């Protein structure tokens, strides 16, 4: 699965997730106003039809955004785009 996210300095970064569960913890620079993420299956590395992926974004230990995606008949998973603005 290819995942794009806001890195600690506020730029967009991407990575290929090869196994689940996957966790990424970041401490953002004070100048960063928010965070975002999204993703989708990588060619040749799909899930199983009906497989469910849950995405959660935390700020200070509290879930601030979450979403689910289910693999289609071909195992393709498209994660929901999530965003959160720091207060």
Domain residue ranges in the chain: 2-85
Which DSSP state fits 41? P
pTM: 0.82
| pLDDT tens column, 15-70 | 998 887 889 999 999 999 999 999 998 887 788 899 999 999 999 899 999 999 99
Exposure of 64 in the CB half-sphere (CA atoms within 13 A): 15
Residue 55: what pLDDT? 92
Residue 45: what pLDDT? 78
* Per-residue confidence band for 84, with pLDDT thresholds at 50, 70 and 90: very high
Count Cβ atoms within 10 A of the Cβ of residue 7 and give its class: 0-12 exposed, 13-18 middle, 19 or more buried: middle
Q: Token digits for 70? A: 């289910």
């Amino acid at each position: 699965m290819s995942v794009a996210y806001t890195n600690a300095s506020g730029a967009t970064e991407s990575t290929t997730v090869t196994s689940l569960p996957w966790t990424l913890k970041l401490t953002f620079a004070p100048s960063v106003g928010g965070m975002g993420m999204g993703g989708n299956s990588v060619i040749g590395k799909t899930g199983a039809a009906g497989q469910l992926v849950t995405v959660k974004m935390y700020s200070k230990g509290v879930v601030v955004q979450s979403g689910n995606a289910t693999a289609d008949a071909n195992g393709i998973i498209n994660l929901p785009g999530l965003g959160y603005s720091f207060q």
